[in-house]
């Protein structure tokens, strides 16, 4: 629902919203940027209060509120109204994705987490596919109730979100200990698995808020390196999510044909995300997964840059979109796996999403105003450089974590676990970093 409601403005644009509101490409880019500013501002504070407010309350409340705001975009008649809607959409959505990642990390062991994170992140690519199909159908409602087809895209998809938000109040458990669908034996098993994998620890129960832990998260080398990776990846994700259909339209496809032709690359991205998550969990290869899909991005963006052929450029989207979307769950899981205790983990997750969405702001200008369609030359060159940067920085992080694991193994030989200071979290000699 989140991906539907933040990205369906691209489908509404193709369906005639920009012309109907009489706004320029520059104004459209400003509207996209404005969505991400409050979105970024909410990510860290919402993650820090999630445990205390309760994910069973905070997350459904976010979904319900933005469903209302998303639907209200259909009533917009001018630029000011659009800006207001996009601002409040970002404000209510900002805490959801980092909150969901933090929430999932308290339910699943580290070695099983990427499949679960991928299940909802790859829904971004699946949503991209269905958004095109759904928008193609909804635009046929043009004129019903005196509203244009693009307005009905917001009405219907916003109603879906609102309904799901209300339902979520009744189905979201606060934690594994309070999950009503688990028996006492199953709860004990889940908690035992979480502790044995160090997904949670005794420190989590005593983990009161501390700015020291927030600063420790930001000063951890593995967090800083992955912040760079998520910035590069976020620039690609938001660029393709918001402009893929415009890119397809620039290849000569128009109207509903463009909506439908935007679907297949998203489907391949979804399949690749789920398959790679299975192998990454099974073999514990977060870093190699990121590096592998970085090369997919390099291939895709290089193909788009090197030719003006409509068919080759369309084929390039299968590489660039698959590489971009499939890398996301691996990067995020890698960050989560290597951050503890709770406040440090909550902070590192939020920092990664701040970097991701900051890349999104850059993307709205790269593909919006700084790099004109249909060639997007400057943006494509930037994406090739960023994809290369993702591979290099991920390799550096892999080397750093491998070295740290060797150093920790040596420390374990020289000290007893009880002799180690408390509250070290991921810096403990008994915390083995995921590679």
- Measured CA to CA, the distance from residue 259 to residue 240 in angstroms comes to 14
- Compute the distance between CA of residue 434 and CA of residue 111 in angstroms, rounded to an integer: 9
Closest CA to 336 of 38, 59, 92, 100: 100
H helix count then E strand count, the chain: 19, 0
Tell me, which fold does domain 2-427 have in CATH? Answer: Growth Hormone; Chain: A; (1.20.1250)
Report residue 418 as tokens: 């009880």
- Report the distance separating Cα 86 and Cα 416, nearest Å: 55
Give CA–CA dist 199/106, Å, rounded.
7
Contact 296, 315 (CB under 8 A): no
Judging by beta carbons within 10 Å of its beta carbon (0-12, 13-18, 19+), is residue 366 exposed, middle or buried?
buried
The residues near 303 (Cβ < 8 Å, ≥ 6 apart) are: 312, 313, 315, 316, 319
Every domain of the chain and the residues it spans: 2-427
Spell out the alpha helix ranges (H) of 251-372.
255-261, 263-283, 286-306, 310-337, 342-365
Each residue's pLDDT, cut to its tens digit, for the chain (435 residues) gives 666 656 688 888 888 999 999 999 899 989 989 999 999 999 999 999 998 999 999 999 999 999 999 999 999 999 999 999 999 999 999 999 999 999 999 999 999 999 999 998 877 667 666 777 777 788 889 999 999 999 999 999 899 999 999 999 999 899 888 888 888 888 888 888 888 877 776 655 555 678 888 999 999 999 999 999 999 999 999 999 888 888 998 998 887 788 788 889 988 999 999 999 999 999 999 999 999 999 999 999 999 999 999 999 999 999 999 999 999 999 999 999 999 999 999 999 999 999 999 999 999 899 877 888 899 999 999 999 999 999 999 999 999 999 999 999 999 999 888 888 878 889 999 999 999
Q: What are phi and psi of 41, to 5 degrees?
A: -60, -25
Task: Please give, one letter per residue, the 3-state secondary structure of 33-63.
Answer: HHHHHHHHHHHHHHHHHHHHHCHHHHHHHHH
Compute how many other C-beta atoms are within 10 angstroms of the C-beta atom of residue 145. 9
């Amino acid at each position: 629902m989140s991906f539907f409601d933040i990205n369906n403005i691209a489908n509404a644009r193709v369906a005639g919203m920009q012309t109907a509101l009489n706004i320029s490409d520059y104004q459209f880019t400003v509207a996209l940027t404005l969505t991400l500013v409050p979105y970024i501002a909410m990510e860290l504070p919402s993650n820090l209060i999630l445990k205390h407010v309760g994910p069973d309350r905070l997350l459904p409340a976010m979904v319900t509120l933005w469903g209302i705001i998303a639907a209200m975009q259909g009533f917009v008649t001018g630029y000011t109204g659009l800006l207001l809607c996009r601002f409040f959409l970002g404000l209510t959505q900002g805490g959801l994705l980092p909150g969901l990642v933090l929430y999932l990390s308290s339910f699943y062991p580290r070695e099983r987490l990427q499949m679960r994170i991928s299940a909802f992140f790859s829904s971004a690519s699946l949503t991209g596919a269905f958004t095109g199909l759904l928008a193609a159908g909804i635009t046929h409602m043009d004129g019903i109730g005196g509203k244009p087809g693009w307005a009905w895209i917001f009405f219907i998809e916003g109603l879906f979100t609102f309904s799901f938000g209300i339902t979520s109040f009744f189905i979201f458990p606060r934690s594994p200990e309070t999950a009503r669908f688990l028996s006492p034996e199953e709860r004990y098993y889940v908690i035992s698995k979480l502790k044995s994998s160090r997904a949670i620890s005794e420190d989590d129960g005593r983990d009161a808020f501390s700015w020291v832990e927030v600063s420790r998260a930001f000063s951890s080398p593995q967090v800083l390196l992955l912040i760079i990776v998520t910035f590069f990846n976020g620039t690609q994700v938001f660029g393709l999510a918001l402009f893929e259909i415009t890119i397809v339209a620039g290849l000569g496809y128009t109207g509903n044909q463009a909506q439908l032709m935007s679907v297949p690359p998203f489907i391949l991205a979804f399949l690749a995300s789920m398959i790679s998550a299975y192998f990454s969990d099974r073999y514990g290869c977060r870093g190699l997964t990121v590096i592998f899909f970085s090369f997919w991005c390099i291939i895709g963006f290089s193909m788009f840059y090197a030719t003006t052929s409509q068919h080759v450029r369309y084929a390039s989207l299968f590489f660039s979109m698959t590489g971009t979307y499939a890398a996301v769950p691996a990067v995020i899981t890698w960050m989560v796996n290597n951050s503890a205790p709770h406040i440090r983990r909550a902070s590192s997750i939020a920092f990664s999403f701040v970097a991701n969405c900051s890349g999104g702001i850059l993307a709205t200008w790269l593909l919006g105003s700084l790099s004109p369609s249909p060639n997007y030359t400057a943006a494509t060159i930037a994406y090739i450089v960023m994809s290369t940067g993702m591979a290099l920085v991920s390799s550096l992080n892999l080397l750093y974590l491998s070295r740290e694991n060797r150093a920790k193994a040596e420390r374990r030989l020289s000290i007893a676990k009880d002799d180690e200071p408390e509250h070290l979290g991921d810096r403990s000699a008994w915390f083995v970093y995921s590679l």
